[in-house]
Structure 1
Amino acid sequence: MGRQQRLLHNLKKGEQMKEQEFGRLLSYAEVFTKRSKPKLISLLLFSLLSGCFIFAPHLLCFSPPSALSPLGSVKASDVHSHTLLSMPSTVSDEGMWCDRTGFRTDICFMKGDIRTHSPSSSILVYTGSQDRSDGFTNHASHEKIKPYTRKWEASVMDTITELNLERKDAKLGDGRTCDVHHDVPAVVFSTGGYTGNVYHEFNDGIIPLYITSQHFAKRVVFVISEYHKWWEMKYGDVVSQLSDYPLIDFSRDKRTHCFKEAIVGLRIHDELRVDPSLMQDNKTIIDFRNLLDRAYRPRINRLVREEELRLSTKAAKERKGPATGRLQRPKLVLLSRNGSRGIENEDMMMKMAKLIGFQVEVVRPESRTEMAKIYKVLNSSNVLVGVHGAAMTHFLFMRPGSVFVQIIPLGTDWPAETYYGEPAKKLGLDYIGYKILPRESSLYQKYGKDDPVLQDPSSINQKGWQFTKKIYLDDQQVKLELRRFKKVLLDAYAKAIMS
């Protein structure tokens, strides 16, 4: 599916978005997904811009902020990847500049004497005089930003605190003194919005945080709006791989924190994706997964030692397999769902997998399940099986070369492939999408066999997100045709023993 369809799907997901807003954003999508023939005015504009670089670079040409440039080389044409544009070269090293060209997120850069003021939800930068002798005023004096990566989705952005960014003349200081001095930059972002859903925690938060901050090599302070203690507890291991400094709860910490540089907002590339062409040193999603491995490895090693202590010497040797001379069976992990989109004949499917030759383990992730424990199970497995849903985000914990089988209920083909299937391939997984037949869905018992709900799900989805959610996401169970699904497991088994 194309980028325009992805935008349309995301637009539908904003349930509270008004009709005129939808139309405006649709037009936006069309503008950037269609290629038009060059027109005379475009050629004239191109010539003018080209001339500026040759004859008057001091007027219109651009260069990156010196300390923020490690964000990497980018493609200025790709608005959906939210490229890094640059500060005008006519400004001093101090100031404030915002990039609002991205469809998914805004991001602002600040440099100078930066001070936080949480009571007014403000971040201020004090610089030299804003007026230059050549008549130019190069930086905005006031900006507003919601540092969350779902800019297009009005309903959720309404829940995000808006921050005030102000540029002030240092000579007219307001007497606000620094309580805490930091000699490293700040990255400011929100953990509000859809945080609480594991897909959004990674897609909207953790991966964009990696994209935005990894180049600082842990010499960066994270300032969090809508801070949640449970989020820090859940992702502290990962965050510690990106920063050596304590997190700052922007809303509750009333002290004035002072920085020399700050990035407000996060970069985002695509669904669960790191685009190497937009990253310093061409880093990829595999580099992000390696970071996860470093984050969870110490805890996993402790868990392994604890397990060995609970086992007798004989049991431990048998568990390790090679010590007994027997080959270990490939391990299949089933991410089991409770409620909607569960597998009604799950037990029979697991028995079939064992007969094929798999060692089977069932995982039922909950909001409070320790991430390191889930990582430990999936990192040591050969095959992951699960029904489309947020829990499929855990494919990020699989080793490249492993097999990922996503069971795709009716009406979920596009999101299943876009949000999990394609990103899994980027990670190097052997992805298998199992699209169920109408008779494998519980909807088969509720609707006539010729009903569009069964025969033409796309026509139902086109009616709006509320129809998709009500029918296909919240009111559908799966009953696998075991003979049909057996072919998928046999294929996965063959790939597992060869890897």
Structure 2
Amino acid sequence: MYNTILLVRSFRKQDRKRLGYGALAASLLITLSFFTVFNPYLGSLPLLSFRLSTWDDQKLFVVNDSSSCLQMVKANMMVYSLFIFEDAEIIPINDGSSSQEAVARDAEMVRNNKKLINDDGSSRKTVNGTIIEDSLIVNDTGNSQEIATTADADAAAMDEKTELRCNIMGRSEFCEMKGDIRIDGNSSTAFIVSSETDILTAENTSWSIRPYARKEALGEKDFARKWSVKPVTSRLDIARCTRNHSVPAILFSAGGYSGNFFHAFTDIIIPLYSTARTFNREVQFLITDRKPWWIAKFKTLFEALSRYEIIDIDDRHDVHCFHSLTIGLKGRNNKELSIDSSTSPYSMKDFRKFLRSWYSLKKITAAKIRDGDKRKPRLLIIPRKRSRSFTNVGEIAQLAESLSYQVIVAEPGPDVSGFAKIINSCDVLMGVHGAGLTNIVFLPENAILIQVVPFGKVEWASRISFEDPAKDMNIRYLDYKIKVEESTLIQQYPADHEVLRDPSAIGKQGWVAFRSIYLDKQNVTLDVERFRPTLVRALQLLHQ
């Protein structure tokens, strides 16, 4: 002890001051090291961990922060992408963060093969979360020193993420939703249920959808049944499930113009293929405006796209519940008999291959005729029984046979599969503008369509209905525009009548007036000698 006292006394006053400063610096260094090492375990205050990204991408994020120091983190979140405006998205977000969330951020939480990804806030473009498919999903990673059990993590994973996306800007209106979905046929409403509410889930918020892919016609009375899509909270008195389903569902209308073969394909069958094909038949079809005869007519295609029996969703006795629903059909653009490649991974080439497979159509490519070849190309003539029919189909057939065609005259009927096989066996299809020409979807590759265009400025309808689609299907196209002398309208109106003299004037009276004359009252008597070069040209194409 004496030595120690002596040592202390030997320090001068200045030396003792320096020693004190050194001790203070060492204490600060130790404190800093402590916070650095233990910072991940200290937890973050919700107020301090909250960040809102400010990058400019024309998206508005509306955030409700419901964090609490006494709450466990919740995994169920409402995510909305409302494509109501062309240039803006509104994505409300519920932040259920909690300072008592345990180290479950280090565990993988999976439900239905979907991962909730935790973000520690290092990304500038997140709000304590991550953006998945343009939807921001919040999952706060604030931690306390309390350790969560496996059961707690599993319970959090069981809460589903609820999503709702509606598109009402295109030619086809549709909504896609995931979560607790209840479909009530009695009120024509699809409810999407969540345990929490936010700005866009007020009781008076809903979207009205007619699930038929021809928006310009949706204003017509009784065209297609109107359905409502309504977000609700679990606290509301909503319909209870009577039938639960484990596969996704697609709800669409068989109303509208579905009785017309052209509209059946362009408005329903092709968009349905585009919407459903990705599910690989594991999808439930829900039909509103059901027509039993129509469903029977296209039974092969429905069975090709879904392994489940179609449900009449207008039946008012059941409340059907799903975890995923698409109401309306996708993939529809401004072109007829076409698939919008910007919204669908499929093309018309894929669709035609699908038809060949399910209708067992054997002919893939049209005949290629060589000089000296004894094979005759097959020509199918659709005569039509009512309007725009050929009055001299026998003469047309004789002309074609004289040019070495094998001629078939046939009219489509309720047996789609049988007629598809006849069409597929042919190299050339010919007919007056009308729904029967929709059968080009069954023609082999490089086949030829000859469209006879009626008198009366019908070129525009002929082009958008069949000329443009034929080219997209790898079908070669020819047309023959008849003269007024080949129209039976000359037998109904005097030569100087406006109908014959100025079809444009009739067109200005509206579509109904135009259609009633030039499409409903007109038949065709083909001038076979004038038509001969068109058939010769088709032969030349088959030689190429």
Residue 428 of structure 1: SS of its match in structure 2?
coil
Which residue does the alignment assign to 2:417? Answer: 372
* Cα distance in 2 between the residues matched to 1:278 and 1:441: 42
Larger Rg: 2
Change (3 A) 1:55 1:96: closer
Displacement after TM superposition at 1:248 (Å): 0.8
2:118 aligned with 1:53: no
Return the match for 2:296 from 212, 230, 233. Answer: 233
Distance 1:51 1:433 in 2: 57
Of residues 418, 425, 437 in structure 1, which corresponds to 2:464? 418
**1:120 counterpart (178, 187, 191):** 187
Describe the shift of the 1:361–1:214 C-alpha distance in structure 2 as closer, same or farther (beyond 3 A). Answer: same
Tell me, yes or no, if the aligned pair for 1:156 and 1:193 is still in contact at 8 Å: no
Task: Provide the TM-score with structure 1 as the length reference.
Answer: 0.73
Whether 2:403 is the aligned partner of 1:339: answer no
Q: How far 1:258 moved relative to its partner? A: 1.4
Give the whole-Å Cα distance in 2 for the aligned partners of 1:393 and 1:449.
34
Report the AA paired with residue 388 of structure 2.
R
Q: Show CA shifts across 1:340-380 (max 9, x none).
A: 211111101101111110111111123x2x10111101111
Alpha-carbon distance in structure 1 between the residues aligned to 2:187 and 2:436: 38
Q: 1:237 to 1:66 in 2, by over 3 A?
A: farther
Alignment of 1:434-453 (within 5 A): 434-449=480-495, 451-453=497-499
Partner in structure 1 of residue 161 of structure 2? 93
User: Quick one: distance in 2 between partners of 1:450 and 1:284?
Assistant: 48
Shift of 1:51: 5.8
* Richer in strand (by share): 2
- Percent identical pairs in the alignment equals 33
Amino acid at match of 2:284: V
Q: Show the counterpart of 1:277.
A: 342
- Distance in 2 between residues matched to 1:173 and 1:344, nearest whole Å: 64
User: Matches of 1:380 and 1:473 in 2, distance apart?
Assistant: 29
- Report the CA distance between 1:256 and its aligned residue: 2.3
Runs (5+) with no aligned partner, structure 1: 1-49, 70-75, 78-85, 305-324
Pair 1:461–1:119, CA change in 2 (3 A): same
Q: Kindly tell me: are residues 66 and 372 of structure 1, through their superposed partners in 2, closer, same or farther at Cα, counting changes over 3 Å?
A: farther
Q: Which residue of 2 aligns with 1:265?
A: 328
In 2: Cα distance, 1:464 partner to 1:138 partner = 43
The aligned amino acid for 1:119 is: N
Aligned-pair CA distance for 1:452 = 4.3
Contact 1:238 1:291 in 2 (8 A): no
Q: CA deviation at 1:402?
A: 0.2
Q: Which amino acid aligns with 2:343?
A: L
In structure 2, how many angstroms separate the alpha carbons of the residues matched to 1:463 and 1:56?
44
CA displacement at 1:118 relative to structure 2: 1.4
> Does 2:453 match 1:385?
no
Partner Cα distance (1:336, 1:415) in 2: 19
The letter of the residue matching 1:211 is S
Q: CA deviation at 1:181?
A: 2.3
Tell me, which stretches of 5 or more residues in structure 2 are unaligned?
1-52, 64-76, 88-132, 139-159, 364-371
Contact 1:189 1:266 in 2 (8 A): yes
User: Which runs of structure 2 are paired with 1:403-414 in the superposition (5 Å)?
Assistant: 403-411=448-456, 412-414=458-460
* Structure 2 equivalent of residue 143 of structure 1: 207
Q: Which has the higher contact order (CA 8 A, sep 6+)?
A: 1
Name 2:397's counterpart in structure 1. 350
The answer to whether the Cα contact below 8 Å between 1:156 and 1:194 also exists between their aligned partners in 2 is no
Give how far 1:95 is off.
4.1
What does residue 46 of structure 1 align with?
none
The SS at the match of 1:53 is coil
| Aligned partner of 2:305 among 220, 224, 242 | 242
Deviation of 1:206 after TM superposition, in Å, equals 0.5
- Shift of residue 397 of structure 1? 1.2
Change (3 A) 1:57 1:154: closer
| Contact 2:173–2:215 under 8 Å retained in 1 | yes
The TM-score normalised by the length of structure 2 is 0.67
| Equivalent residues of 1:59, 1:90 under 8 A apart | no
Does residue 397 in structure 1 map to residue 439 in structure 2?
no
Residue 515 of structure 2 corresponds to residue 490 of structure 1: no
Distance 1:481 1:51 in 2: 70
| 1-structure distance, mates of 2:485, 2:58 | 69
CA distance in 1, matches of 2:274, 2:284: 15
Deviation at 1:466, TM superposition (A): 2.4
CA distance in 2, matches of 1:66, 1:59: 11
1:207-256 deviation line (CA, Å, top 9, x unaligned): 11112222222221111101122122111111222212211110126222
Of 234-243 and 397-406, the range deviating more from structure 2: 234-243
Aligned pair in 2 of structure 1 residues 66, 165: CA closer, same or farther (>3 Å)? closer
The answer to whether structure 1 residue 328 and structure 2 residue 401 are counterparts is no
Counterparts of 1:385 and 1:338 in 2: how far apart (Å)?
15
148, 155, 160: which is aligned to 2:224?
Answer: 160
Change (3 A) 1:54 1:178: closer
Q: In structure 1, what is the Cα distance between the partners aligned to 2:54 and 2:538?
A: 59
CA distance in 1, matches of 2:218, 2:252: 18
Q: Which of 511, 533, 537 matches 1:465? A: 511
CA contact (8 A) 2:79 2:136 kept: no
Q: Secondary structure at the match of 2:266?
A: helix
Indicate which of 212, 215, 230 corresponds to 2:278: 215
- What corresponds to 1:476 in structure 2? 522
Which amino acid is the alignment partner of residue 143 of structure 1? W
Secondary structure of the residue that 1:494 maps to in structure 2?
A: helix
Aligned residues: 397
Alpha-carbon displacement from aligned partner over 1:401-434 (angstroms, at most 9, x marks no partner): 0010000011221101111111111111110011
8 Å Cα contact 2:80-2:165 kept in structure 1? no
Return the alpha-carbon distance in structure 2 between the equivalents of residues 68 and 355 of structure 1.
65
Q: How does 1:282-301 map to 2 (within 5 A)?
A: 283-297=346-360
State the alpha-carbon separation in 1 of the partners of residues 540 and 529 from structure 2: 17
**Greater helix fraction, Structure 1 or Structure 2:** 1
Please give the per-residue CA displacement for 1:51-74, whole angstroms capped at 9, x wherever unaligned. Answer: 6437998559xxxx99999xxxxx
Secondary structure of residue in 2 paired with 1:266: coil
* 1:277 match: secondary structure: coil
